[in-house]
Structure 1
Amino acid sequence: MLNDQMISGRTKASAIQEAAQNLVSVGVVAAQDLEGTNLDHKEAYTKVHGLGAVTWEYFCMLLGTPGVKADTWIVAAVSRALGRQVSPQEARQIVIGAAEALETNPTELDHALWTYERSRTVEDVVDVS
């Protein structure tokens, strides 16, 4: 339930409502209409204050498009694996490449990394910066 949860100084519900209106304006009226690689669709979503590329990626993933949501947990997992800090963009590309090499869906690898990273104890966490 969204209730009064905030994102970038506004309620998440208001951001989602604006994104939905924007998507309808570019012809997206059902989940199957959304194309993750369609720049008009992406712009309709990401031009909403508080919604950016990472949430766009996750939104598409939730609708069945393979992808990687390079959030804090994914960046941390990749940074730890490489022994250096990586950007969200680099982490995303590395996970996609690893998924290809492993012949698996990048979304499945994303979820596995995220779940593992979230399950680690404080003693396990190593700062690579």
Structure 2
Amino acid sequence: MSGATDLDKLAGACRDQLGPQSEWFRPNGYPDSLALCIIDSIQSTGAHYNSVLNVVNRYRELRADAAATDGTAELLASFDQLGGARNWAKKVGNFKAASTKRGASLKADVMHDVAQKLHDAGIRMSAQFREHGELAAGNEDRRAALKKLWTSAEAQRSGITFEYALMLAGLPGVKSDRMVLRFVSTAIGRSDLTPTTCATLVRDAADHLGVDATTLDHAIWRKASGRANN
């Protein structure tokens, strides 16, 4: 593909390797539960997805049907109910640290912090989260403020979990984790790809292929992680 742009190379790799678009798995996310968006996104970093699902399912067991519509108030109340972040980690989450840094807090602590920050800012339900986080003309300042709030939490500076939470809440987006970065880097033949540049390329490729960004991101992630794409 002599003279091809990075976009051409990525779009070609997607066509060649991801199978028919009509068969791609479409993730559901949690469009009505900001609590589950927070839990899944923060728990997902550096983890096998089955372990993330285990935490999500234990929260659902704790909250029963209400989990499907829980916001920040309900998530924070679950921490209080169980006696704080460490007990929450023991009974719902796990004892995974938020980073490899010595003395790093538990992911459960970070979930509580993010939920508290959002709650204090008046962003308490998934609809409000989507409204503030939408990539749209005229919403740049509000989105930037929301991202700054989220990424001020421990080990969240990269913004990957922020973008993923928005996707889980129902906004098209790209989670430039190591799986997606690896696929895109290989496809375009570059080793210097940043998460931001990767996300832009995937969004552009999604437009080029006529699918939404979340669908393409998930198809790439499933391919890179060895999962079936349907």
Same fold flag (TM > 0.5): yes
Match of residue 43 from structure 1: 148
Percent identical: 32
Q: Distance in 2 between matches of 1:39 and 1:90?
A: 18
Given the alignment of the two structures, is residue 107 of structure 1 paired with residue 107 of structure 2, yes or no?
Answer: no
- Give 4+ residue runs of structure 1 displaced > 2 Å after superposition: none
In our comparison, the structure showing a higher alpha carbon Rg is: 2
Given the alignment of the two structures, is residue 5 of structure 1 paired with residue 85 of structure 2, yes or no?
Answer: no
Superposition deviation, residue 7 in structure 1: 0.7
Is the Cα contact below 8 Å between 1:70 and 1:91 reproduced in 2? yes
SS at match of 1:6: coil
Render the CA deviation track for 1:74-102: whole Å, top value 9, x for unaligned.
Answer: 11111111112122111111100000111
Match of residue 24 from structure 1: 119
Superposition deviation, residue 40 in structure 1: 2.2
Is the Cα contact below 8 Å between 1:61 and 1:67 reproduced in 2? yes
Render the CA deviation track for 1:4-38: whole Å, top value 9, x for unaligned.
Answer: 12112111111010111101111101111112242
- Give runs of aligned pairs for residues 55-94 of structure 1, distance below 5 A: 55-85=161-191, 86-94=193-201
* Structure 1: runs of 5+ lacking an equivalent: 121-129
Superposition deviation, residue 73 in structure 1: 0.8
Match of residue 125 from structure 1: none
RMSD: 1.3
TM-score normalised by length of structure 2: 0.50
Q: Distance in 2 between matches of 1:83 and 1:41?
A: 34
Match of residue 97 from structure 1: 204
Q: Distance in 2 between matches of 1:80 and 1:42?
A: 29
How many residue pairs match? The answer is 120
Q: Distance in 1 between matches of 2:226 and 2:146?
A: 34
Q: Distance in 2 between matches of 1:112 and 1:5?
A: 27
Q: Distance in 2 between matches of 1:43 and 1:82?
A: 31
Render the CA deviation track for 1:38-88: whole Å, top value 9, x for unaligned.
Answer: 222222211001123111000111001110001111111111111121221
Instruction: Using CA pairs under 8 Å that are at least 6 residues apart, name the structure with larger relative contact order, 1 or 2.
Output: 2
Given the alignment of the two structures, is residue 33 of structure 1 paired with residue 128 of structure 2, yes or no?
Answer: yes
Is the Cα contact below 8 Å between 1:22 and 1:44 reproduced in 2? yes
Is the Cα contact below 8 Å between 1:26 and 1:40 reproduced in 2? no
SS at match of 1:69: coil
